[in-house]
Copies of this chain bind each other. A is one copy, B any other.
Amino acid sequence: MNDNAVEAAIAAVRADVALLHGELVRYGLVVWTGGNVSGRVPGTDYFVIKPSGVAYDDLTPDNMILCTLDGEVVPGTPGSERSPSSDTAAHAYVYREMPEVGGVVHTHSSYAVAWAARGEEIPCVITGMADEFGGPIPVGPFAVIGDDSIGRGIVETLRGHRSRAVLMRNHGPFTIGVTAKDAVKAAVMCEDAARSVHLARQAGEVIPIPQEKIDALYARYQNVYGQQEDERR
Contacts and interface: CB of A to CB of B under 8 A. Distances in A.
Size category, A interface = 35 or more
Interface in A115-158: 115-120, 125-128, 142, 144-146
B205 A51 contact: no
A74 interface: no
Given A189-B32, A220-B145, A118 B206 contact: yes
Given A118-B206, A127-B144, A142-B213, 14 more contacts: A52-B225, A52-B226, A53-B226, A83-B227, A86-B224, A108-B126, A117-B196, A117-B206, A126-B172, A142-B209, A145-B217, A145-B220, A170-B207, A198-B203
Interface of A: 27, 31-34, 51-54, 82-83, 86, 108, 110-111, 113-120, 125-128, 142, 144-146, 169-172, 185, 188-189, 192, 195-207, 209, 213, 216-217, 220, 224-228, 230-231
A32 B26 CA distance: 10
Given A82-B227, A108-B128, A204-B118, A199 B199 contact: no
